């Protein structure tokens, strides 16, 4: 009697079975998706996505100085700029794109510039981070008021 040769399609002792392979693929897939999500969230200060407005190139009149009252601010979505007035006649301008993921900040409330995408908050005085996830403050931009108009850039 001759010893039987193992069938070529039979599982061997060293090869994983189909169920083990499928479980491994599911785990790798889940880890891959989580990794992509974390990588996207960690892409701070990288270029904004193509659908977002670009930052100003050169000085631009964004609006009337009367639109930004003392202790408040205004987000100019068409130019991706936020202008604040922490004290009378002391205007500040910042890139309105949150450095966390590039979303535009949404409002200025009680001295705080707020980003609704992930909850980051920034000081209206200097654009510094008050609340994360943003690790870096808003980029300050040159601003002046001439003839009652706010000019940024």
For residue 76, give the CATH number of its domain.
2.102.10.10
Asked if pLDDT for residue 38 goes beyond 50, the answer is no
Are 141 and 133 within 8 A, CB to CB?
no
Which one is predicted more confidently, 6 or 115?
115
Question: Can you give the pTM of this predicted structure?
Answer: 0.65
In a 3-state reduction of DSSP, which class is residue 20?
A: helix
pLDDT at 54 over 60: no
- Is residue 76 pLDDT above 80, yes or no? yes
- Domain range for 39 is 15-44
Please tell me whether residues 31 and 67 are part of one structural domain. Answer: no
Q: Would the pLDDT of 31 be above 80?
A: no
Domain count for the chain, please give it.
Answer: 2
Is there a single domain that holds both residue 34 and residue 72?
A: no
59-71 core/surface letters (b: 16 or more CB in 10 A; e: else): eeebbebeebeee
In this structure, the answer to whether residues 135 and 65 fall within a common structural domain is yes
**Region 37-63 average pLDDT:** 54
C-beta of residue 67 within 8 angstroms of C-beta of residue 74 = yes
Q: Could you give the CA distance from residue 152 to residue 93 in angstroms, rounded to a whole number?
A: 7
Contact 38, 31 (CB under 8 A): no
Question: What mean pLDDT, rounded, does the chain reach?
Answer: 77
Q: Is residue 29 a part of any domain in this protein?
A: yes
Q: Tell me what pLDDT residue 32 has.
A: 46
In a domain, 8, yes or no: no
Q: Are 100 and 130 found together in one domain? A: yes
Q: For residues 150 and 19, which has the higher predicted lDDT (pLDDT)?
A: 150
Note whether residue 2 is domain-resident: no
Burial (0-12, 13-18, 19+ Cβ within 10 Å), 124 = buried
Query: What confidence score (pLDDT) does residue 122 get?
Result: 96
Could you tell me which residues come within 8 angstroms of residue 153 by beta carbon, excluding any fewer than 6 positions away? 56, 57, 58, 59, 60, 141, 142
Please answer whether residues 92 and 126 qualify as being in contact, where contact means their C-beta atoms are separated by less than 8 angstroms: yes
């Amino acid at each position: 009697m001759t010893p039987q040769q193992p069938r070529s399609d039979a599982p061997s002792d060293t090869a994983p079975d189909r169920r083990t392979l499928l479980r491994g693929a599911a785990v790798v897939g889940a880890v891959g998706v989580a990794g992509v999500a974390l990588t996207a969230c960690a892409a701070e200060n990288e270029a904004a996505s193509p659908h977002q407005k670009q930052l100003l190139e050169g000085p631009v009149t964004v609006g009337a100085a009367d639109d930004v009252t003392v202790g408040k601010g205004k987000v100019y979505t068409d130019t991706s700029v936020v202008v604040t007035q922490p004290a009378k006649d002391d205007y500040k301008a910042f890139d309105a794109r949150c450095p966390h993921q590039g979303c535009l900040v949404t409002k200025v409330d009680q001295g705080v510039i707020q980003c609704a995408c992930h909850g980051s908050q920034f000081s209206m005085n200097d654009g510094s981070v008050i609340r994360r996830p943003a690790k870096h403050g808003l980029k300050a931009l040159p601003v002046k008021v001439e003839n009652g108009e706010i000019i940024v850039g």
